[in-house]
Each structure stands twice: as C-alpha cells, then as structure tokens.
Amino acid sequence: MLTLYEHPLSPYAQKCKIVLLEKGIPFEATLPNGFGSGQAGGDFTVGNPRHEVPMLIDGDLRIFDSTVILEYIEEKWPTPPMLPRDPAARARIRMLEDVADTHYEAINWGLMEIGFFRRATGALADTLKTRAAEQTAGLLSWLETEIGAREWFNGESFGWADAAIVPHVGTSAAAGLGPAPASPLALWLDRCKARPSVAAVDRAAQEWRAGVPSDFSGALAQGFRRQYRDHRLEWMMRSGGLSVVLDGLEKNNLRFGNEF
C-alpha cells in the first residue's frame, strides 16, 4: 500500500489525496512526527530533503513535491484520467494548478498566520486581512473567467485542475471570502463538495481542527516554526507584513526552506 506523508490542512497534500481517492488507489495518510517545527525526522526525511508534505512512498520509491506526485500517479495509474489528451488543454490545467499552488496558497496561508498563530493584531491584522480579501476577490474573478461555461475546470469531467483548486476555494469560502452565491464558481464548488473524494478530505481537515485550540500562538513560543518560503514570504512582504517577518526572525519562530 502507498504511504502519503501529509497534513490534513495542507492543500498540496489535499489535492494528492483527492486524486488518489478519485482513482480508487489504496493509501495510508500519515502525519510526520515533528512536522512544522523544523525538527522533523525519521522515515519522513529519508529521500525528502525539503522535509515538506506531501511525500509519497511506493515501495522503495520516495517522491516529494505535490505536482511530481500527481504526475507519477497519473502515469502509473492512468484510469480514470485526471488530465485531458489535448496538449493545449493540459498546459492550461498545469497553469491553473501553478496559480493555485503559489498565488492562492500564499493568501490562505497568510490568513492562518494572522487568525491561527496571531502573528499580527490590531491595525496590522486589519491591513493584512483587507489585502487578503482584495487579492482573493481578484483570484476568484479570474477563476470565474477560466471556468466559463464548463462544468469542471478540467472540462467535461472532474480532474487534475479541480483537485488542485478546490482546497483553496473551499478554504476561502470557510473564511467568508468564497465565490458569490449561485455564481458559476459557487456552483462548481458545490459540485466538488458533493464528490466523496473532496468530502473525505474536508472531513479530515475539520477533524484535525476540532482537536486543536483556535489560538495556536502559544506553539510559537514552544519551538514551532512556520515555513516562510518563496511565495509565502512575498505575500507577507507585499501585503504590509514586514514587521511580522522581522519579529519572527528575531524570535526564531519562522523558518525558510531546508538547505541541501
């Protein structure tokens, strides 16, 4: 059986789980010990120099990076297909995934830094939340254009692009920043949520949230170090959170990607 090292709230892990479930591939989802603290170890770090989730283990093979994992799954288990046959359509889907993985993920991650880890309060928190709302609205508008009259981002059937986008739009909706009611994007989200694969991933995320306090700021004082890599750091800096970054560096409760 496949092993997928993951975190229930990670959109990168969520899209991999959705695809595995859609294809009916048995797997075991495992949360790495020490994940998020910068002190992860054990089997999770073997063959995984980034120490990031998701990581897929298939026998002796270890694969990190969610997009590479999806590519491996699609090539090894091509039925049902998650990508269309047409090269142009495939390119469009990969661009949609890339926007979701970078621009969109950074916004939702930033909101968690504020609301869950309490890195900003008062006027600064209000500024960052306002910027996040503006940026989310811009992305949703773009996604509305991209889905157009299609039933799915993939086209006629649920697929790769839908699995990559739904974790982010779902998170926005839960935060009150989702698509307008009855809009094409809202109707798409409803269709996604009705799928057993998406519903299972949502349940896992809700169960994890139910087991932890809503204020997780105390964890930062106990050695938990959130990762500020590339698009996430850019989001915080461009949205007005320079002081958040400087404070995290001073207190050593943020980190960057691992050095190889």
Q: Are residues 49 and 124 in the same domain?
A: no
- Which residues does 150 contact at the CB level (< 8 Å), separation at least 6? 156
Q: Given this model, what pLDDT does residue 39 score?
A: 67
Q: Are residues 59 and 93 in the same domain?
A: no
* Cα–Cα distance for residue pair 200/217, rounded to 1 Å: 28
Compute mean pLDDT per 10 residues along the chain, 260 residues long, and list them: 96 98 98 73 85 95 97 98 96 98 98 97 98 98 97 96 98 97 98 98 96 91 91 98 98 91
Owning domain of residue 47? 2-76
Q: Point out the domain boundary residue: 47, 76, 105.
A: 76
User: Is 33 domain-assigned?
Assistant: yes
User: Is 131 domain-assigned?
Assistant: yes
* Cα–Cα distance for residue pair 39/190, rounded to 1 Å: 38
User: In which order are the strands placed within the sheet that holds 2-5?
Assistant: 27-30, 2-5, 55-58, 61-64
Q: Given this model, what pLDDT does residue 37 score?
A: 60
Nearest to 131 by CA among 2, 240, 249: 240
In degrees rounded to 5, what are phi and psi of residue 10?
-75, 120
Q: Point out the domain boundary residue: 41, 76, 111.
A: 76
CATH number, domain of 110, equals 1.20.1050.10
Q: Are residues 102 and 147 in the same domain?
A: yes
Q: Given this model, what pLDDT does residue 223 score?
A: 86
Number of folded domains that form the chain: 2
Which residues face 260 on adjacent strands?
none
Q: Tell whether pTM > 0.75.
A: yes
User: Is 17 domain-assigned?
Assistant: yes
Q: Are residues 51 and 112 in the same domain?
A: no
Give 178-181's long-range contacts (Cβ < 8 A, gap of 24+).
Answer: 178/140, 179/140, 179/143, 179/144
